[in-house]
Structure 1
Amino acid sequence: MKRVERAKRGKAVKRVSRRRAAPRSLALGLAVAATAAAGTATVGTGATPAHAAACTGYVALTFDDGPSTTHTPALLNALRQNGLRATMFNQGQYAAAYPAQVRAQVGAGMWVGNHSYTHPHLTQLGQAQIDSEISRTQQAIANAGGGTPNLFRPPYGETNTTVRTVAAKYGLTQVIWDVDSQDWNGASTDAIVRAAARLTNGQIMLMHEWSANTLAAIPRIAQTLASKGLCSGRISPQTGRAVAP
């Protein structure tokens, strides 16, 4: 699996009333039932009701280069335990190889995007090759149970008119990033948390599912965002910005 992102381009072009009070026992029973129902509703979403109520803005956490049997389960577990949702930009070759992990991503409440099939430098390829990279990934993710992606992240953040045109042909919105965690470049856990602290409403953060330091940073990222009133959201296909789930 290709594990090193090179030459990341910076910040790119890359949320009842009642007439009469119910008896205390009934009210308690209703409260317990409501709590249980809420717990059921959030299974598979990783959402935290307390966080949702405190949101003053949304940011998008994104993870490139999955899925895998080595890293995806631990990453999904960490995200869910910390009430976070994220967009997983999967390579088509890995979606085809590990379809159960694509389904696990969806089951954990994550969104799945297209990150090309083999992670090439798309700007060095012809239109037919770019089309193959993007279309095969669309098919691989759909076949794996991830739905049909509407978001596309070009490898290395490298794009041009041809790449954008082909992506648009498949109904894909190109997504770069505002904050680069630098985990691909060996950033420490502390540095990754500091990067997350720079996020503001609507912004997108780049991370990678294979980084051990990123995995370790997730609880602190959740705390950092909560302290700023920010919640993890989805990326709007219309605007390419982070919005409420």
Structure 2
Amino acid sequence: MRTRSSLAVVAMAAASTLAVQGAPAQAAAACAGYVGLTFDDGPSGNTPALLTALKQSGLRATMFNTGQNAAANVSQVRAQVNAGMWVANHSYTHPHLTQLGQAQIDSEISRTQAAIAAAGGGTPKLFRPPYGETNATVKSVAAKYGLTQIIWDVDSQDWNNASTDAIVQAAGRLTNGQIILMHDWPANTRAAIPRIAQGLAGRGLCAGAISPQTGRAVAP
């Protein structure tokens, strides 16, 4: 009987160990789809708190940085990368690009590419025009720098003082491959992050990267 009891204990321990070891695989298998979480207008003094919230919730996101903010907050660009985020181009001064000439648009995009690269954020492959305003000229200049234009499927309205509940509800509308617009600075957005993570997990969705090929959210 002692032998059998010992074997049973060993078997239970082994099963427990396997269950723990299998947890990451199970978590990965639970991803029935991917969504793109995006944050515009950083980096800023709010970025550290945002990155902490994302890391604590196990989320990765694409940070659409403005060039002037990247140049002024070099350490935060590096912090974004170190936290596992993807850094992308959001123009240099956040103007209405469709009201500018081609040379000015080129300057806005090219200077941001340079500022982000100089800050350690790599060379962006994604570009989001401020306010989502674009035209053929904006698209062609972005393409010149190897950038894929990314708008969004869901607007969290966090820029318009949306409540934390409203931001969470907006994220709840995301489906596989879709992208949500959020921003680096609103406190309500940071507060929503743990609940966004919980809501996505409950629907089998995971935070993914945005593909430069398709412009959709995919597995990292």
* Structures share fold, TM-score greater than 0.5: yes
Counting only pairs closer than 5 Å after superposition, residues 38-187 of structure 1 correspond to structure 2 as 51-68=27-44, 70-187=45-162
Structure exhibiting the larger radius of gyration computed from Cα positions:
2
Q: Say if 1:145 and 1:97 are closer, same or farther in 2 by CA, change over 3 A.
A: same
Identify, as 1 or 2, the structure richer in helix: 2
Q: What secondary structure, in the 3-state scheme, does the structure 1 residue paired with 2:38 have? A: strand
Runs of 5+ in structure 1 lacking a partner? Answer: 1-23, 39-47
Distance 1:122 1:49 in 2: 44
Shift of 1:49: 6.2
Letter in 2 for 1:168: A
> Conserved in 2, the CA contact under 8 Å of 1:78 and 1:219?
yes
Distance 1:113 1:159 in 2: 17
Distance 1:49 1:87 in 2: 24
Q: Deviations over 1:144-177 (max 9, x none)?
A: 0000000000000000000000000000000000
Distance 1:76 1:176 in 2: 22
Residue 194 of structure 2 corresponds to residue 216 of structure 1: no
Q: What secondary structure, in the 3-state scheme, does the structure 1 residue paired with 2:192 have? A: helix
Q: Say if 1:50 and 1:86 are closer, same or farther in 2 by CA, change over 3 A.
A: farther
Shift of 1:52: 2.5
Identity value in percent:
78
Letter in 1 for 2:62: T
Q: What secondary structure, in the 3-state scheme, does the structure 1 residue paired with 2:34 have? A: strand
Q: Deviations over 1:167-224 (max 9, x none)?
A: 0000000000000000001100000000000000000000001011100000000011
Runs of 5+ in structure 2 lacking a partner? Answer: 1-9
Q: Deviations over 1:14-67 (max 9, x none)?
A: xxxxxxxxxx59x97xx59x96xx9xxxxxxxxx76542310000000000000
> Conserved in 2, the CA contact under 8 Å of 1:88 and 1:110?
yes
> Conserved in 2, the CA contact under 8 Å of 1:51 and 1:231?
no
Q: What secondary structure, in the 3-state scheme, does the structure 2 residue paired with 1:73 have? A: helix
**Which residue of structure 2 aligns with residue 237 of structure 1?**
212
**Which segments of structure 1 move beyond 6 Å, counting only runs of 4 or more?**
none
Q: TM-score, normalised by structure 1?
A: 0.81
Q: Deviations over 1:55-98 (max 9, x none)?
A: 00000000000001x21000000000001000000000000011
Q: What secondary structure, in the 3-state scheme, does the structure 2 residue paired with 1:198 have? A: coil
The number of equivalent residue pairs is 208
Q: What secondary structure, in the 3-state scheme, does the structure 2 residue paired with 1:134 have? A: helix
Q: What secondary structure, in the 3-state scheme, does the structure 2 residue paired with 1:171 have? A: coil
Distance 1:187 1:51 in 2: 31
Distance 2:169 2:85 in 1: 23
Distance 1:96 1:206 in 2: 23
Letter in 1 for 2:37: L
Q: TM-score, normalised by structure 2?
A: 0.90
